Amino acid sequence: MFPTAEQIWGVLVLEEYNTRVVILGVMALGVAAGLVGTFLLLRKRALTADALSHATLPGITVAFMVMVALGMQGKSMFGLMIGAFVFGCIGVLLILGIRRTTKLKDDAAIGIVLSVLFGLGLCLLRLATEMPSGNAAGLNGFIFGKAASMVASDTKVIAIVALCTGIIVTVLRKELTALCFDENFGAVQGWPILRLDIVLMTLVAIVTVIALQSVGLVLAVAMLIVPAASARYWCTKIGSLLVASAIIGCLGGWLGGVVSALVPKMPTGPVIVLVCGGWFIFSFIFGPVNGIVARQWRIWRLNRRIEMQHILRAMYEVSSENPFCKFNSILCCRSWSQTQVKRLLSRLIRQKYVTKEKEGWVLTDAGMQKATHVVRNHRLWEAYLINYADIAPNHVDRDADMIEHVLGTSMVEKLEALLGSDNLPPSPHPLEVTS
């Protein structure tokens, strides 16, 4: 049964207390996870969050068993979170210790810590359920999350953690950026790389712990990685990347909470992850930074520019013998089809680079200027390859073709200064024009 307009509006404006608590909590979680996950992704430790989330399971069960043994309330949320955080920090230290004291890489260290601690957690969970003095029912809810049981105090804790995370990230943004991109440079500058690494991993552990109740330890990695990965398709600068990742995480938490509230018996955590996953797919396809559409658009524009440069160079070389370029003369310059040449000539006419006369096609003043620029870049590369790369003159044409189209203005100036000539270099392979 579809929700009514009144129900939808009630959820959107957060009328109900429980809905307000859950949605505001997961929105704050999305902000914190987006900020920390950005540096985790740039550090190339995306699976670290997975290892730490699985490492919290033995911490939860140990905390439960200790509290029951001391005669306390075994399911005290504060105590369970403390246990999860302690074992999360143990997981951090184990990963860093394996990486720095052995020849194993990050992926091997993460795999070892994840599997061993999660296996330990499952064994301890079985022992906890068989304790006669405590009721361990519900502890396995932390594996997949139970956002519906969140209370106002949980939301306040998540909001405080998100605020503190934002402050730490703002203060240490430069240092954490250096850690992620070039830790050797940071070490040379005298920065405490190991301590910065521990700070970053501790932030990951804290965010993982506060995510346990809403999305669970299995899906906590998605909240840390998916928003940051999505943001990479929309911006490149670290500042804008942090903001975009936090916004995506916040919106993912909001929309996931809304859908979960409107659809009966729909778990909040998986829905949030699915919403973030959907946004990642959208970013992967339509993102302006290396999205599929943007990348194909750039490739298409580059191919069009290359085709135009090729035919302009061909017409320039043909017109050096006869100002009226015959169709067959242009066709013989390259392995073009007649349809392709006609299409390119039509484009040149539309751009007013060429006019059609009875005797043939003629380059206009603008076309001659453009063609001269194209030919000059090509000849500069040919001269450079012949004189400095020791390429044979009869092979240099195609080699220059492969790189001339990415020639920037600054590189042209450097080549001109290197060759010491303001005139157009002669072609090492004179063109044989056919009539």
pLDDT in tens, 226-258: 999 999 999 989 999 999 999 999 999 999 888
- The pLDDT of residue 428 is above 60: no
* Cβ–Cβ < 8 Å for 278, 223: no
**Tens digit of each residue's pLDDT (9 = 90 or more) over 101-113:** 888 887 788 888 8
* Cβ–Cβ < 8 Å for 109, 45: no
- The pLDDT of residue 328 is above 80: yes
How far is the C-alpha of 348 from the C-alpha of 362, rounded, in Å? 10
Residue 171: pLDDT band with limits 50, 70, 90: very high
User: Mean pLDDT over residues 324-335, rounded?
Assistant: 83
How far is the C-alpha of 254 from the C-alpha of 261, rounded, in Å? 11
The type of residue at 37 is G
How far is the C-alpha of 7 from the C-alpha of 259, rounded, in Å? 11
**Tens digit of each residue's pLDDT (9 = 90 or more) over 300-322:** 998 888 888 888 888 888 888 78
- The pLDDT of residue 394 is above 70: no
The residues facing 355 across adjacent strands are 362
Prediction pTM value: 0.79
Residue 430: pLDDT band with limits 50, 70, 90: low
- Output 217 or 285, whichever has higher pLDDT: 285
Residue 434: pLDDT band with limits 50, 70, 90: very low
The structure tokens listed for 237 are: 């600068």
What's the pLDDT at 11?
A: 80
Q: For the packed helices 173-181 and 17-42, what is the interaxial angle rounded to 10 degrees?
A: 50
What's the pLDDT at 435?
A: 43
How far is the C-alpha of 171 from the C-alpha of 166, rounded, in Å? 9
**Tens digit of each residue's pLDDT (9 = 90 or more) over 123-141:** 888 887 777 665 655 666 6
The type of residue at 362 is V
User: Mean pLDDT over residues 261-277, rounded?
Assistant: 86
The structure tokens listed for 287 are: 């993102």
Most confident of 38-52, 78-92, 274-288: 274-288
**Tens digit of each residue's pLDDT (9 = 90 or more) over 58-77:** 888 888 888 888 877 767 77
User: Mean pLDDT over residues 317-344, rounded?
Assistant: 85
The structure tokens listed for 193 are: 């790389």
DSSP letters spanning 212-257: HHHHHHHHHHHHHHHHHHHHTTT--SHHHHHHHHHHHHHHHHHHHH
User: Mean pLDDT over residues 148-170, rounded?
Assistant: 87
Residue 95 burial (10 A CB sphere; 0-12, 13-18, 19+): buried
Cβ neighbours of residue 112 closer than 8 Å, sequence gap 6 or more: 94, 98, 104
Tokens 């080699």 locate to: 399
Was domain 16-223 assigned CATH 1.10.3470.10?
A: yes
How far is the C-alpha of 70 from the C-alpha of 131, rounded, in Å? 13
What's the pLDDT at 218?
A: 73
Residue 84: pLDDT band with limits 50, 70, 90: confident
Could you tell me where the beta strands, DSSP code E, fall in 159-210?
Answer: none
* Cβ–Cβ < 8 Å for 205, 52: yes
What's the pLDDT at 38?
A: 93
What's the pLDDT at 314?
A: 86
* Cβ–Cβ < 8 Å for 305, 405: yes
How far is the C-alpha of 247 from the C-alpha of 239, rounded, in Å? 13
Which CATH number describes the domain made up of 296-419? 1.10.10.10
**Tens digit of each residue's pLDDT (9 = 90 or more) over 9-34:** 888 878 888 888 889 999 999 999 99
CA separation, residue 31 to residues 157, 164, 252 (Å): 13, 11, 10
The residues facing 362 across adjacent strands are 355
What's the pLDDT at 303?
A: 86
What's the pLDDT at 135?
A: 60
As a whole number, the mean pLDDT across the chain is 82
What's the pLDDT at 372?
A: 87
Where do the CATH 1.10.3470.10 domains begin and end in the chain?
A: 16-223
Q: Residue 325 gets which letter from DSSP?
A: B
Q: What percent of the chain has pLDDT over 90?
A: 21
The residues facing 356 across adjacent strands are 361
Number of other residues whose CB lies within 10 A of the CB of residue 73: 12
Q: Residue 133 gets which letter from DSSP?
A: T
- The pLDDT of residue 397 is above 70: no
How far is the C-alpha of 155 from the C-alpha of 223, rounded, in Å? 16
What's the pLDDT at 433?
A: 46
**Tens digit of each residue's pLDDT (9 = 90 or more) over 88-98:** 888 878 888 88
How far is the C-alpha of 433 from the C-alpha of 394, rounded, in Å? 17
Most confident of 25-29, 202-206, 262-266: 25-29
How far is the C-alpha of 210 from the C-alpha of 160, rounded, in Å? 11
Backbone φ, ψ for residue 151 (5° rounding): -120, 175
CA separation, residue 153 to residues 78, 96, 261, 415 (Å): 10, 33, 20, 67
What's the pLDDT at 243?
A: 94
Residue 75 burial (10 A CB sphere; 0-12, 13-18, 19+): middle
Cβ neighbours of residue 70 closer than 8 Å, sequence gap 6 or more: none
- The pLDDT of residue 215 is above 50: yes
Tokens 């502890």 locate to: 139
Where do the CATH 1.10.10.10 domains begin and end in the chain?
A: 296-419
Helices (H), 338-388: 338-350, 365-388
- The pLDDT of residue 169 is above 70: yes
Q: What percent of the chain has pLDDT over 70?
A: 86
Phi-psi region of 192 (alpha: psi -120 to 50; beta: other; left: phi over 0): beta
